[in-house]
Amino acid sequence: MLLDDLNVVIKVAEFRNITAAATHLNMRTATASAAVKRVEQAVGAELFVRTTRSLRLSSAGERFLPTCEQAMSMLKNAKQNLKGETGVIEGELRLGLSSDLGRNVIAPWLDDFMNEHEKISVKLNLNDSNIDFYRDPIDLALRYGSPDDASVYGFKICDVPRLLVASPSYISTYGAPEQFEDLQAHNGLFYQLHDKVYNEWEFVHEGKPLKIKMQGNRTANDGEMVRRWAVAGKGVAVKSSLDACDDILNGRLITLLSDYQPKPTQLWLICPSRQSITPAVRLLRDMLKTRCAECLAQLAHF
């Protein structure tokens, strides 16, 4: 029985699906299935109850899995302790990112991160869809908004203000809104996730929540596209201060109605379980906290 086979058993139990576990581990389904069978033969018991539609741990599997996880955890810790003696941390980070945040903010930071930690490699999965650790080939994800799935584990990176922004060219043509109600005369640029178009914008003014339903002629399911439209002078948009930071600092976007703040959000680094938190993940978390704080501090005067 190989240690790699034990890891397959752990992932199959976590995902409750051999195909999903195989995808996560970058192997063929048949290879994962064979690994499970080898472990079952070695321990002399079936670890999973299989039906045509589902897979779950058998009673023997429920007894075996905690010992299996403990053994793998001890091995991982032993390896990291040995590596720690040389001061070198290595590993692969398979990270899911939203498009705008990933391409324009995190990717440049990762260049510096990988120059500092040469034994760490990254694989990025860029999309604005909801996190799905069962479907997507990722081990962790960076997402706006606190996780609503109790089965995952997350680190809060920072609180993130949102900003109402437009380009100087748009403002020179259409003028800047001076009152909250003036927004309805402007062209909104909207983000869409699945069937929901985010055209009802939420603000906070003097501690009180406000909403306004905007009209606009451009909608995209890609946050980067919305930001590009704003920079090109196509309308006004609500963007995360992290996403818009570079454009604001370089004068490509300006903030509007400073007394009316769009409802803020949070940035979270999310993992499928505590077992996914490796020293490399901790290094990434610490880097993200530092860089986000620096970025947001630069916007303090805007």
> What digits encode the pLDDT tens for the residues 255-301?
999 999 999 999 999 988 777 788 889 999 999 999 999 999 988 77
Within 8 A by CB and 6+ apart from 276, the residues are: 139, 140, 153
Pick from 299, 201, 205, 182: nearest CA to 259: 205
Q: What whole-number distance in Å separates Cα of residue 64 and Cα of residue 57?
A: 10
Q: What does the block give as tokens for 21?
A: 């576990």
pLDDT at 295: 92
C-alpha of 192 from chain center = 17
Q: What does the block give as tokens for 271?
A: 């993992």
| Domains of the chain by residue range | 3-85, 88-160+266-298, 162-263
pLDDT at 171: 97
88-160+266-298: same fold as 3-85?
no
Q: What whole-number distance in Å separates Cα of residue 12 and Cα of residue 212?
A: 46
CATH fit for domain 88-160+266-298, picks 3.40.1280.10, 3.30.1280.10, 3.40.190.10, 3.30.1950.10 = 3.40.190.10
CATH 3.40.190.290 fits 162-263, yes or no: yes
Q: How many other CB atoms are found less than 10 A from the CB of residue 2?
A: 11
What are 49-54's contacts with CB under 8 Å, separation 24+? 54/16
pTM of the model: 0.72
Mean pLDDT across the chain:
89
Q: What whole-number distance in Å separates Cα of residue 241 and Cα of residue 239?
A: 6
Pick from 298, 273, 267: nearest CA to 285: 267
